[in-house]
Amino acid sequence: MEKFVVRGPNKRSCTNDALIRSPRKKVKLEEDERLKEEEDEEDEDEALAEFSNPVPWQKIEAEGLDCDYAQLFSKEEADKLFKQLEEEVVYSTGEEAKVQVFGKVYNIPRKQATYGDAGLTYTYSGVRRSACPWTPTLKSIRDAVTKTTAQTFNFVLVNRYKDGQDHMGEHRDDEKELDPLCPIASVSLGAARDFIFRHRDARGKQSRRQIEPVRLELAHGSLLLMNPPTNTFWYHSLPVRKKVLLPRINLTFRRIILDRKK
DNA sequence: TTACGGTCAGGGGC
DNA sequence: GGCCCCTGACCGTA
């Protein structure tokens, strides 16, 4: 049923440009990273030293879909991070926790928060949200992801699903402000949940083509990298799973392009 | 159109 | 096997 291909350890063929980038590009990135990392550099090194190395990557591929999946954190690390995030993250309330779809306003069926570099904003369902400053735990998870992927991220969207009733409908992360060359890195903590990709041409009653959906289970402490062009061709969702009784926190690290017009 | 609700099919329990 | 109930997939929608 599942169409993805699992390769052997570390045989990565993704478009992760950090692994094939030119020396000049590397120098530029390192400068950027240095500027961003001026503060708390030593503290972060200590935090990073706590993380174990990830287990081998699984390559998940289909037509126009390119993902990498790995267990980033051990159970003990993931338990600790989950607990810390439960204490640190402040979720949106009131109008910010609502969404308008087909002219109706609904409460979002999960909790959301946005964190990132100073001044960044992210537009979600037509609503512009500004990033809160990184918390220590979010920063250390971001750095662990960077260490593993050699990609830098300046923003994270935090989604908290209180149980299997909380969910997220089918969508693409195709916002214009996202760097089209940067993968989206999705870290899962807490209850394992199903995650489903569907090709854009295989949706709806009059779908043009028959392409099987790709189904994954995102485990506690896992990292899913969605490489370009996945988000161009594939929608993804986190469906309701009534048997799931425990909460899950999902962090999607992104790189937002700074608006040069201003 | 990151939402929900209606409908339907399939599976499990009895 | 047949019925009921639950779950999940799919579709329509302003």
> Is the pLDDT higher at A52 or at A167?
A167
Question: Per the domain annotation, does A143 fall within a domain?
Answer: yes
Question: Per the domain annotation, does A36 fall within a domain?
Answer: yes
Domain count for chain A: 1
Question: Per the domain annotation, does A62 fall within a domain?
Answer: yes
Return the closest nucleotide (C1') to the Cα of A240.
C8
Question: Per the domain annotation, does A10 fall within a domain?
Answer: no
Q: Taking 90 as the threshold, does the pLDDT of residue A227 lie above it?
A: yes
Q: Taking 80 as the threshold, does the pLDDT of residue A34 lie above it?
A: no
Q: How far apart are CA A12 and CA A150, in angstroms?
A: 13
A221 and A78 Cβ atoms separated by less than 8 Å: yes
Mention every residue, 6+ apart, whose C-beta is less than 8 A from residue A2.
Answer: A212, A214, A215
Host domain of residue A237: 17-254
- Maximum separation of any 2 CA atoms in chain A, in Å: 56
pLDDT for position A124? 75
Q: Which residues touch strand B (CB under 7 A)?
A: A 99-102, 104, 106-110, 124-125, 167-173, 175
Q: How far apart are CA A49 and CA A47, in angstroms?
A: 5
Binding site, annotated residues of A for 2-oxoglutarate: 159, 161, 171, 236, 248, 252, 254
Mean pLDDT is lowest, of A66-80, A140-154, A171-185, for A171-185
Binding site, annotated residues of A: 102-104, 122-124, 159, 161, 171, 174, 236, 248, 252, 254
Question: Per the domain annotation, does A11 fall within a domain?
Answer: no
Q: What is the CATH number of the domain that holds A162?
A: 2.60.120.590
Question: Per the domain annotation, does A259 fall within a domain?
Answer: no
Distance A243 CA to C7 C1' (A): 10
Question: Per the domain annotation, does A260 fall within a domain?
Answer: no
User: In chain A, pLDDT over 70 holds for what percent of residues?
Assistant: 77
Distance A243 CA to B14 C1' (A): 21
Chain B positions within 7 A of any protein Cβ atom are 1-4
A174 and A125 Cβ atoms separated by less than 8 Å: no
> Is the pLDDT higher at A17 or at A154?
A154
Distance A225 CA to C9 C1' (A): 26
Distance A237 CA to C13 C1' (A): 19
Question: Per the domain annotation, does A2 fall within a domain?
Answer: no
A118 and A133 Cβ atoms separated by less than 8 Å: yes
Mean pLDDT is lowest, of A88-92, A124-128, A191-195, A200-204, for A124-128
- Tens digits of per-residue pLDDT, A77-86? 999 999 999 9
Return the closest nucleotide (C1') to the Cα of A175.
B2
Chain C positions within 7 A of any protein Cβ atom are 6-14
| Sheet containing A234-238: order of strands | A168-171, A234-238, A193-199, A214-218
